[in-house]
Every structure is written in C-alpha cells, then in structure tokens.
Structure 1
C-alpha cells in the first residue's frame, strides 16, 4: 500500500513538470511566432475588432426576443415574457405566407443561380480566343458592380406600363403588355433572373480560378486516351471544381431564409405584395416602422436558427455524398 502511494506521489510531480514544460514550450513558440510575424498579427486586429464590436457584442441584444421591450426602460430592465413574441408570430395569419414566399423565392434563386455560373465558367475555359474570352468576362462581370437601387430603377423603367421598353416592344407587335411589376405572378421571375444577370459573371470567376488550378497533365492524358472535348469537361473539369461548387451550394442553401431584403423591398408594391412579402421585409416593417422590436427580434432569431439548421444538415449531407464540406 505504501509502495503504491509512494509511486503516485512520485508520478504527480513528474506529471506537473511535464505540463509546465509543455506550457513553457507553447508560450516560447507563440512569442517567437509573434516576433517573426508581428505584421500579420497587426493586420488581423482590425477585422477581429470589427467582428467583436459589430457582430458578437450585438448578439447579446437577442434577449429582446424574450422581453416586452420598452425604449424607456431599456433592454435589460424590460420585463421578461418568455416565448410570447414567438407565439404571436407563429399565430399570425401571415406566418405561412412569409415562410412560403421566402422559401420559394430563395429556392428559385438557388436553382437558377447555381448551375448557370458553373456552365459559363466551363464554356469560357474552353474558349481559345483570348480577346473573345476577356470580352465575355467583362460583359458578364460588369453588372456585379451596379448597385441594387440602380438595378431596381432599371427594372422599373424597362417594365413601366406606359413608357417602358418592354411595353413598347409588345406594342410594336400589336400585343398588350402585362404589368410585370404589378402582377404577383411575375415578381419571382423578374427578381431571380435579374439577379442571375447581375451575379453570374462574378460567380463564374470563382469557378475559373478553380479551373486554372487543374493539372495540365490530366488534359494531356485525356487527349492521349482519345477523350473528346465534352468528355474532358465531364471527367476532368467537373470533378476538379466540384469541391468549390459544393461549398458555394452549401453556403447558398445555408442562407436560404436570408434572401436579400433590399431588392425585394424596392420591387415591392401593393399589387405584388402577396408574393413579395418575405421574412426580411416583414422584420423591417414590424421592427422599424411599427416599432415592435420584440416580435421583430424574435422573427430574426427564428430565421437565423432555421438557416443554421439548414447549413448543418446540408453540410453533413454534402460530406457524406461527395466528401466535401465547410468542416
């Protein structure tokens, strides 16, 4: 018994010394890295401060979702009401309309916006005339720099019922033009395809960067084996950029409930409200216009939790099926 106690007493100081030595080694390596790369650490400080001040500190204010918030009493002195704000939102007759409109609009945007940039990048990668490739890249990439406000203004001018270019084109053929922005049935199509036109060139650049990293030896081997151009695209290009495509798809699906507020709100009018009212616009109207901050925060928190759940599920499915994921 004494022998066992003696061995344990001997092992404990040795274990303590080992832990202390390891900590000292880590501290020494950290100080050495700091002295060698202090410029890089200095560059990291501003973005870290940005995320802490503007992202993580405001997270504490989500308690408003569980309180009967009063501007006079402040966030922390307002009375707790538990899940009442969530219950009011779930019982709201517009709840399922908001969910449906948000899912349909965002899902439509993903289905239309995910494959087209990939296809554009594959076609540009096969173009051998440098001037033509650069011209197409410029034409497709330039709309990305146009602000959303300008894009919506262009859409309004093009689809104006009396003087719009689309109306004039229909009138040229003797056909009455539909009220594209006034008819709810056209809202999603205009929103999605204008968004594809604006962002396809930018998204294609990401795939082109991935294609530039493909080993030329793979193309040479495919040519030696007699593979046609389509076969090389299918068996070399697509597998090479699939990890990048899967990450972009995961991020897109993970933000499916966070479809852009600005464009939907600017395109919204009383005639298309049945299709254009989404969660983001509802939060804006409830929180800022009606000053009901508790319900607005509850809706925003609910939206974020759904996005997080979708992100985790899609990432797990992608890793199981393709071996690629965010983590």
Structure 2
C-alpha cells in the first residue's frame, strides 16, 4: 500500500501561481525587457515634463527670483486677467490660430498624398531615392531652414526673386510683407516635415491586405477605385489618430522658426503667443505672466484634443481613448 506523505506542498519563491499575481505583476513579468527599454523615455517625461508642473504655482504668485517660489506673494488670477485684458490678446490669438489652422489644412494631407504616391511607384530604387530625399529636411536645424528661406526670398539675389525678375516682373520683398508670412511659414513646414511624416502612413499601408487589391482587380476596379475603396479605408485609423493629435497642437506653433523668420515689420501676422511669451517672460523677466499664458494655452489645447477625440468616437470607431 502506497504511503501518502503528510508533508505540505509548499511552493517555492519562484513558483508563485500566475493566477494569483496582480495585474501589474503579470504585466511586468511578461514584458520586463520592454519595460527596461521604455525606462529612459519614462524618466525623461517624469524629470522634464511632470516634475516641472509643480512650478505652475508661480502663475498664481508675483514670482520674485530672489524670494523664491514659496515666499513670493500670492496674486490669484491677476496674470490671467492681465492677458485676457491685453489689447493684443485677440491679435495674438488670431495669428496663432490661423497659422496653426493653415498648417493643419495644408500640411496634414501633404504626407498622406506623398505616401499614396510612393505606394504606387513600381521602381524600388527610385522609390527609395525619393523617400531619402524627402526625409533629409527633417534633420536640418530650424535655424538653417529659416536662414535658407530668408536667403531664397531675398529681394536682392534670392533664388525666387531671380526667377521672378527673369520673367519680367519686379522683385518682391517677401519677408517684409505681413500678408506673405503665413504662406512662407506653412510651405517651409511642409517641405521640412512631409517626408518624415509619411513614415506613419507607409507603415500603415504595409498592413493593408493584398487580397483586397486582388479582389478589386477581379471586379474591374481602376487604380483610383482601389485607392478610394481599399487603400484609404485601410489607413483611416492612422489618419484619424494623427488628425486628432494635430488638432490638439493647432495652437502649439513652433517658437524657433517663427522667431527666426519674423521682424517688427510683419508683427501684424507673425507675432504669435509663443513669441509674445518669450518677450514678456525672458526679455522682461515677468516669469509669472509668461507661465500663466502658457498654462492658459495648454488648457485650450486640451479642450481641442478632447473635443476632437469625442467627435471621432461618435462618427467612427477610432479614438485615442
């Protein structure tokens, strides 16, 4: 007769039942190497994005550099009221919003169109060449891009004006005309980033099932029909997600390029919120006022992205959350 052991079966430290593990423990156990790869990115956001948020307290104080953040005098919503009552408030909002809107309307479809065109190319060597050439401007510094734009548009010796003069017209001083600034800025943004942004859509195109194209060919669909009924629906989730993110950044126009390309003669259209914050915050030393404007714009951007996400959830099955 077999003897039954009375010794209890005690699980070792490494034999914990996976079912009893918490959700976070299972997530760590199954993806620990991915978490280690993600750690530098996480530390970056904690140190440079989240910890500085404690400094937003200065938006409610009359911050004095020598007294420090905690000993400075509380002023409540003084600086928010100051910005809303500023005579330049509507001009700054208008310039920032229109610049962001034009960039969204003309800059957002550009990489999609380029990705679709590249997808139709059959010559692999030429396709790689076009991709490489279109990617390169993304890695050029904004200082260089702004300098190139100013040089090309110079009324004396600029490439664009040389072409205009050769056609029998008078040279145009683009950088001194307020009505030209938005077009120059948006075109420079498209040229600089169109190639880099196509990466998302080219990656999405690889996920489209080739059998759908075969079925469309059997049905006699033309290239345009395949594009409209197969390709675009296949990459629509990527388009919607990037559109929502871009709507949230309508008011977050890059400071560097605008600052480098603007001059007092075109402040009428080129002076935006980020350049105004630089002047009052850094040049005039009014840190509380500058921080208040930035927080105000951040709240508006949050409203934009939340509204865009809610609309997307109602009209489609794609959303950020």
2:137 paired with 1:147: no
CA distance in 2, matches of 1:169, 1:31: 66
2:285 paired with 1:276: no
| Equivalence for 1:19 | none
SS in 1 for 2:264: coil
CA distance in 2, matches of 1:34, 1:205: 30
1:43 positional shift = 2.8
| Equivalence for 2:214 | 220
Change (3 A) 1:78 1:168: same
Change (3 A) 1:44 1:185: same
Find the partner of 1:25 among 20, 28, 36. Answer: 20
2:161 paired with 1:164: no
Cα RMSD of the aligned pairs, angstroms, is: 2.0
Q: Any gaps of 5 or more consecutive residues in structure 1?
A: 1-21
CA distance in 2, matches of 1:204, 1:37: 30
1:32 positional shift = 6.7
Higher deviation after alignment, 260-269 or 173-182: 173-182
| Equivalence for 2:246 | 252
2:118 paired with 1:124: yes
Output one character per residue of 1:49-94: Cα deviation in whole Å (capped at 9) or x when no partner: 2211111110011111111111111111111111010111111101
Query: Greater helix percent: which structure?
Result: 1
1:319 positional shift = 1.4
Change (3 A) 1:89 1:31: closer
2:288 paired with 1:288: no
1:48 positional shift = 2.0
CA distance in 1, matches of 2:190, 2:30: 45
SS in 1 for 2:68: coil
CA distance in 1, matches of 2:311, 2:122: 37
CA distance in 2, matches of 1:275, 1:120: 29
| Equivalence for 2:204 | 210
1:191 positional shift = 0.2
Find the partner of 2:73 among 79, 92, 95. Answer: 79
2:229 paired with 1:267: no
Q: TM-score, normalised by structure 2?
A: 0.91
Higher deviation after alignment, 129-138 or 61-70: 129-138
Output one character per residue of 1:205-259: Cα deviation in whole Å (capped at 9) or x when no partner: 2111101111111111111111111100000000000110011110000011111
| Equivalence for 1:95 | 89
CA distance in 2, matches of 1:64, 1:249: 33
| Equivalence for 1:191 | 185
Change (3 A) 1:111 1:64: same
CA distance in 2, matches of 1:252, 1:239: 20
Tell me the matched-pair count: 306
2:213 paired with 1:237: no
1:171 positional shift = 2.1
Change (3 A) 1:108 1:32: closer
Tell me if the contact between 2:18 and 2:26 (Cα under 8 Å) persists in the aligned partners: no
CA distance in 2, matches of 1:215, 1:277: 47
